Amino acid sequence: MNALSTSLPPANTTPLLLARDLDAADPLRTLRDRFHLPRGADGGPGVYFCGHSLGLAPRSAADAVNEELAMWAERGVEGHFDPLRPWTRFHERLTAPLAELSGALRSEVVAMNTLTVNLHLMLTSFYRPSGARTRILIEQRAFSSDRYAVDSHIRLHGLDPQRALLQIGPREGESGIRTEDVCELLEREGQQIATVLLSGVQYLSGQRFDMASIASCARRQGCVVGFDLAHAIGNVPLQLHDWNTDFAVWCGYKYLNGGPGAIGGCFVHERHARAFDLPRLAGWWGHDTSTRFAMPEAFGPQAGAPGWQVSNLPILSAAPLLASLALFQEAGIDALRTKSVRLTGYLESLLRATLSESVTILTPSEPLARGCQLSLRLRRSSSEARAVYTALIRDGFICDWREPDVIRVAPVPLYNTFTEVQQFVTALTREMG
């Protein structure tokens, strides 16, 4: 059942009044004040439903960056070794909140690089084709950067992507990929699959994969399993350690609100913590910290995920992420998820009540099978659908467009409201005529 199906307004209550009542009862409502809200067409706050692409700026982000700028100005290179917060250990300040959000041990996570760089590092270690096991399993319409990275690693091993790249998609007439279909494929083809790489939440459809079941199926077949969590971390609760995931990667600029091009992150399960014989692309920041600055000729990696670091952290890019993660710790991912289920459920309820004949919701209806994003297919020609999207943007409703006819909408619990959801559906109804 839809999470908000019982909250549709009675006959004597308008959707706007209901939305305002829901906002008044929201225990997380004050978090919105901790973010900068883009301006709409009338000069007031716009309705920003694009956190799946770029999260909003925390008001504390500027202070976090300015603190490091001041350190640089006042201490120069000595800022690396400041006794209170040395730059050499800055990434460690991000470890605890990232471990909480990913459901990992602290030794299993590290903030570093950007998503695709981290994916290349992980595939170097965890895609090791051998004998009959040469294939990588990804979903159809995986994000293009993942596909390019996977293709390049297949070619680096001298293999043909036409043979080694295995894809799974929805059944005919469906928009989501069934877990049972993934597991059936793994049982059928598992002895040929070296590595499984799927999304946590699919970027286009908004489907949340059953990562626990998929990881279990993959490991039963002897496959290495990893996830791209770009659209999952900070959006849905994760338990990477308990799911026995081998590796995972993510970016920091979507639901984590770290700013454009923000520092990403990486998970490596503790069973690989001391697998120093695994091939890896080494860099000095992954070296054992006790001898890193002695500059030994031989690389000796740290134990755990930090051993996959290659370079020191860009401090000015990491500082905004630190500010945002503090808000996650303050709110708690479980409380955020509770609001998210209600907020997205309210959006779905209104869409089904008013636009069921003209909008198809591609994202699963079951809350456990999605995050906060709904992907909406407009039943119009591509040009007409694009005109509807353009009109929404003009009117201050920030969402995004995917060819040929899909609008992605993500009400984020940190800063979006039920009233904004109601306003968006009203505007979409108006533009759809």
Query: pLDDT tens digits, residue range 358-387?
Result: 999 999 999 999 999 999 999 999 999 999
Residue 88 pLDDT level (bands cut at 50, 70, 90): very high
CA distance 372 to 348: 11
pLDDT in tens, 234-291: 999 999 999 999 999 999 999 999 999 999 999 999 999 999 999 999 999 999 999 9
Residue 13 pLDDT level (bands cut at 50, 70, 90): low
- What percentage of the chain carries pLDDT values higher than 90? 93
Decide which of 7 and 206 is more confident. Answer: 206
CA-nearest of 185, 259, 206 to 411 is 206
AA identity, residue 149: A
CA-nearest of 12, 74, 9, 35 to 413 is 35
Peptide bond into 413 cis (omega under 30): no
Report the SS3 class of residue 109: strand
CATH numbers and ranges of domains, the chain: 5-34+332-432 (3.90.1150.10), 65-328 (3.40.640.10)
- According to the model, what pLDDT value does residue 139 have? 97
Residue 6 pLDDT level (bands cut at 50, 70, 90): very low
CA-nearest of 190, 211, 198, 194 to 168 is 198
- What percentage of the chain carries pLDDT values higher than 70? 97
Residue listed under structure tokens 């590595």: 195
User: Dihedral sign, CA of 56, 317, 151, 235?
Assistant: negative
Classify each residue of 275-298 as buried b or exposed e, where b means 16 or more C-beta atoms within 10 Å of its C-beta. eeeeebebbebbbeeeebeeeeee
Residue 44 pLDDT level (bands cut at 50, 70, 90): confident
> Lowest-confidence range among 32-46, 174-188, 236-250?
32-46
Question: Under the phi-then-psi rule, with left for phi > 0, alpha for psi from -120 to 50, and beta for the rest, what region is 408?
Answer: beta
CA distance 128 to 135: 10
Q: What DSSP letter does each residue of 392-403 carry, written as one string?
A: HHHTTEE-EEET
Q: Are 348 and 4 in contact (CB under 8 A)?
A: yes
CA distance 299 to 184: 42
